[in-house]
Amino acid sequence: MITSVGVVIGLFVVKWTGWIWVDSVMAFMIAAHLAWEGSKIIRQNLGGLVDEVDYAAINNLAKAFKECREEGLINVHNVRMIRSGRFHHIDAHLVVPEFWDVDRVHALSNTYEARVISKYPFEGEIAFHLDPCHRKYCEMCDLDQCPVRKNPFQALPTFDIPGLLGNEKKTAQFNPHVTPS
């Protein structure tokens, strides 16, 4: 639409003023606009082809993880996402108490997945890999009746981008001062 309006304006200016050079200027401006818009489309599509991190989608997912969190769900990390249009396949590790039985963990992961997907603005599915806490997460576990607690509870996980995308070892490598594109 913008290019069509530019062409019409250029034609009217040339017709009314007789300034032929306006046609060349308008043609150059339209070509520059088309090149700019084309480069944005190519950039966006190349990002999808090389599995670039979609920070907006990860932020939406982090918000849904935080809103739907329930007792016994200790942490979520190693999040990976594959996008196909509006459908997102999400793969993540879910840390749960090591002493819970399989039925309880399975029920928690299924209800948590359904609740997160209902809050997430895209269609999708989540495949959780279940990790036992192995007493490494005591500081972020709010489970009151924990028979294996090694350290006192301090604070819930924040579900921030470095924590979701990496694991404990990789989180320190995240540079929050680098602006994601």
- Amino acid 48: pLDDT: 65
- Amino acid 7: pLDDT: 84
Give the pLDDT confidence of 10-44 residue by residue, as tens digits: 888 888 988 888 888 888 988 999 999 999 888 87
- Alpha-carbon distance 53 to 83, whole Å? 10
60-71 mean pLDDT = 92
More confident residue, 118 or 53: 118
Contact 23, 14 (CB under 8 A): yes
Q: What is the 3-state secondary structure (H, E, C) of the chain?
A: CHHHHHHHHHHHHHHHHCCCHHHHHHHHHHHHHHHHHHHHHHHHHHHHHCCCCCHHHHHHHHHHHHHHCCCCCCEEEEEEEEEECCEEEEEEEEEECCCCCHHHHHHHHHHHHHHHHHHCCCEEEEEEEEEECCCCCHHHCCCCCCCCCCCCCCCCCCCCHHHHHCCHHHHCCCCCCCCCC
Q: Taking 90 as the threshold, does the pLDDT of residue 171 lie above it?
A: no
129-148 mean pLDDT = 89
- Amino acid 176: pLDDT: 37
Q: Taking 50 as the threshold, does the pLDDT of residue 130 lie above it?
A: yes
Question: Position of tokens 């890999």?
Answer: 129
Give the pLDDT confidence of 142-168 residue by residue, as tens digits: 888 889 999 898 998 888 888 888 754
Ramachandran bin of 159, using left for φ above 0, alpha for ψ from -120 to 50, beta for the remaining angles: left
